[in-house]
Chains A and B, each alone.
Chain A
Amino acid sequence: MRTKRGGALLALALTCGVAMVAATMSLATPSAAPPWCGPKKIKLGFTDGFGGNSWRLVTTASARAEAEKCPSVTSIDYADGQGNTQKAISDIQGMVAKGVDALVVFPDAGKAILPALRSAYKAGVVTVPYRVTPGGKAGVDYDVFIDTPFSQAGENWGKWILRVLPKGGNVLMLSGPKGNSQGVEENKGLHKILDPSGKYKFIGEQPFEVTNWDPALTQKVLSAAIAKYPKIDVIVSDFGPSLVGSLPEFNKSGRNVPSLATSDGNVLGCFWQKQHAKNPTFKLFTVSTQNDHARLAIDWAVALATDGKKPSTTHFPSLVFEDSTTGKPHPVECQPKLPGDIYLSAQLPAEVQAKLVKK
């Protein structure tokens, strides 16, 4: 009994301590807590299906930074599924057992994760999956799913292509594994914008050339395409940085690097800055790699759990980042002194990202 009371006292003291620290923190920062941060104290959990690349590292750090904006969040727990579906499921169950109040999940394994999400939701944990659809229904299997319309990225690329190649041309699209939903959706968006004009021809395997997002395979696929198609006017790819090793193939074949509509990455921006003078046809347009998608998911989870104000949307938009032709919204950016695998489109400062990936 005594020990229990002691434990309770300790917990009380700790809570007070945390509350005081939180209070001093919120006092220290002039800007008050964001509207999605309500008064109720919560413990937050964040699970990843696979955490082992620089994109995930920056995304996780972004999520943590976002959660730290809210003083009501007393603890943040993170678990990496390491590409193992079984571990991803037990991570979710472990978070529930630990007593988190809100849980943000990157359900890489898709529908395989749904039962775990449902049991977390049924156990009263605010459950917010994002980015990869786990199937199921909001309000039945989880609280809310924060998606991103991949077709919007395709539409953004399409609109830019209409502008830089008004006379039409040959379009080569590259994406990851065969049939991956991201590539399929992006391709639909691209067709929606380009098809009405009737001036654009899609070349190569349809809907996209398979690269598995693997730089070595990308190199082979691209060099085969360069040899096969004497005229490639624009390349569309959903993983820009993986192209850096492959684009010099054009020069090896005595051709100029064509226009490129893709996603951002420091290594790609630096590559463009070095190459565009030599390759007058090399225009670059990027959409954000969306590391900040995790922030919207955190906002939702925290808002629901702490009784804060819900964000206005559950969709994270595809945002245009760089355009070498107009410089709007940003000119092509490069931080030559920082590592290639950071994402300047993310809110997280470049130096912080550099420290993360260099660790």
Chain B
Amino acid sequence: MTGSVASREAVPRGSRRLLNRGLATVVVATGGLFAASLLFASSSVTKGTLLTMLPFASALAIASLGQTLVVMQGGIDLSVAGGLSLYVVIVTKYPAGDNARLWPAIGIAFLAAVGAGLLNGVLIGRLRLNPIVATLGTNALLFGGVLWYTSGIPTTTTARLARVGGGTWLGIPAPVYFAVAATALVTAVVKLTPPGRRFEGVGANETAALTAGVRVGRHRTSAYVWAQVLYCLAAVLHAGIVNQPTAYEGNNYLLPTVAAVVLGGTSLLGGRGNLVATALAALFLSQLDQFVLALGVTYATRQLVQAGALAVGVALYTVNWAAIARRLPVRRPASVRPT
């Protein structure tokens, strides 16, 4: 109940502005980053590097869209690591190099995704468990599945999938098309269709949605299911991009997906989601990775710069800059007065 009161206060006032601010911030930050890349590490924006960075950014963008849907419902999905790892091993191990078995493998992976999503959804949407605890449990379960299925042994990607993940269509890496299509589709469904509007309404104000007769539990559950479906799509692409994926690829997605959601300006309290901004934030994070690599600094510095960028990004939205700014001019006359 307290959560809904907080969101009631937070959302209606600033939601419109937050949407614009999130997108504007990410666009400016990404533009700035590419400009900095050109100036300080031009090798990070060569054709070859971009062709490597964009597929990873695309997979991250798709997974981050899933995370955004969950965050829009005031939740968080920590099972992205286990889920992604499981779908990667299903689409690599089940076909074991046989192109003919690739489609069935992708089918099984998506079924597993729906199953994992339903589990999360029922635990959180119906049984009202805390999202952190519930998804942490599901994550452990999914990793158990990974170990049971593979004993931790990776399998090389099927040639056909590697062609999609590593290939280019009209000079642009194929995964980019998937990311753009997924972003457009999810945005259209959430922003333009009645169920999408109801979905956003539930996240923004649960009490109001309940009063209006919206089935809150069902919408909340659906967020977790769609999130896993998007992770699964990201996993299929990731398996194609990385020819020899390990059994634990999902670990590389846990922090970045949450970071992309936060940088994209979606409030962790739930409500309106900035899906396009999330996808752009994924691009920002991937390019940041490549930029710092190209600077040629040590591994330790690389980690520090990435952490610093994330802290700045989070601070942009969470610190109440307006309040700080309001306080500053008050102090100045006070210090001026004695003279």
Q: Which residues of A contact B (CB under 8 A)?
A: 51-54, 57, 178, 204-205, 210, 214-216, 219-221, 223-224, 226-228, 241-242, 244-245, 248-249, 252-254, 267, 339-341, 357-359
- In the complex, the number of residue pairs spanning A and B with C-beta atoms less than 8 Å apart equals 109
Query: Quick check: is B152 within 8 A (CB to CB) of the other chain?
Result: yes
Chain A residue contacts of B296, Cβ below 8 A: 204-205, 228
Shortest distance from the beta carbon of B74 to any chain A beta carbon, whole Å: 31
Query: Quick check: is B156 within 8 A (CB to CB) of the other chain?
Result: yes
Shortest distance from the beta carbon of B162 to any chain A beta carbon, whole Å: 8
Of the candidate stretches B47-55, B133-141, B261-269, the one touching chain A is B47-55
Partner of A220, one of B52, B152, B155, B243: B52
Shortest distance from the beta carbon of A128 to any chain B beta carbon, whole Å: 25
B242 near A216: Cβ-Cβ < 8 Å: yes
CA distance A254 to B246 in the complex (A): 28
A245 near B153: Cβ-Cβ < 8 Å: no
Query: Quick check: is B2 within 8 A (CB to CB) of the other chain?
Result: no
Query: Quick check: is B46 within 8 A (CB to CB) of the other chain?
Result: yes
**B157: nearest residue on chain A (CB-CB)?**
A245
A57 near B43: Cβ-Cβ < 8 Å: no
CA distance A267 to B245 in the complex (A): 13
Shortest distance from the beta carbon of B291 to any chain A beta carbon, whole Å: 9
Chain A residue contacts of B155, Cβ below 8 A: 339-341
Partner of A267, one of B47, B48, B156, B241: B156
Chain B residue contacts of A210, Cβ below 8 A: 299
Q: Which residues of B contact A (CB under 8 A)?
A: 41, 43-44, 46-49, 51-53, 56, 96-97, 147, 151-156, 166, 238, 241-247, 249, 252, 289-290, 293-294, 296, 298-300
**B97: nearest residue on chain A (CB-CB)?**
A339
B43 near A341: Cβ-Cβ < 8 Å: no
B242 near A205: Cβ-Cβ < 8 Å: no
Known: A54-B153, A253-B46. 12 other contacts (CB 8 A): A52-B151, A52-B152, A52-B153, A215-B243, A216-B245, A216-B249, A219-B56, A221-B293, A227-B43, A245-B244, A252-B47, A341-B155
A341 near B46: Cβ-Cβ < 8 Å: no
CA distance A219 to B49 in the complex (A): 10
Chain B residue contacts of A254, Cβ below 8 A: 48
A54 touching B48 in the complex, CB below 8 Å, given contacts A215-B244, A245-B244: no
B147 near A252: Cβ-Cβ < 8 Å: no
B245 near A215: Cβ-Cβ < 8 Å: yes
CA distance A252 to B53 in the complex (A): 12
Chain A residue contacts of B56, Cβ below 8 A: 216, 219-220
Chain A residue contacts of B290, Cβ below 8 A: 220, 223-224
Chain B residue contacts of A252, Cβ below 8 A: 47-48, 51-52
B48 near A223: Cβ-Cβ < 8 Å: yes
B48 near A253: Cβ-Cβ < 8 Å: yes
A223 near B247: Cβ-Cβ < 8 Å: no
**A248: nearest residue on chain B (CB-CB)?**
B166
**A245: nearest residue on chain B (CB-CB)?**
B243
A219 near B242: Cβ-Cβ < 8 Å: yes
A224 near B243: Cβ-Cβ < 8 Å: no
CA distance A275 to B119 in the complex (A): 46
Chain B residue contacts of A248, Cβ below 8 A: 166
CA distance A358 to B156 in the complex (A): 12
B147 near A228: Cβ-Cβ < 8 Å: no
Shortest distance from the beta carbon of A353 to any chain B beta carbon, whole Å: 12
CA distance A333 to B80 in the complex (A): 39
CA distance A215 to B252 in the complex (A): 12
**B48: nearest residue on chain A (CB-CB)?**
A253
Partner of B48, one of A215, A226, A340: A226
Partner of A245, one of B51, B242, B294: B242
CA distance A248 to B249 in the complex (A): 20
**B293: nearest residue on chain A (CB-CB)?**
A224
A219 near B52: Cβ-Cβ < 8 Å: yes
A357 near B49: Cβ-Cβ < 8 Å: no
A223 touching B52 in the complex, CB below 8 Å, given contacts A215-B243, A253-B46: yes
**B302: nearest residue on chain A (CB-CB)?**
A210
Interface CB pairs A-B, < 8 A, 10: A52-B153, A54-B153, A54-B154, A219-B56, A220-B289, A220-B290, A220-B293, A245-B166, A340-B244, A341-B154
Chain B residue contacts of A220, Cβ below 8 A: 52-53, 56, 289-290, 293
Which among B47, B154, B290, B298 has the highest number of chain A CB atoms within 10 Å? B154
CA distance A32 to B56 in the complex (A): 56
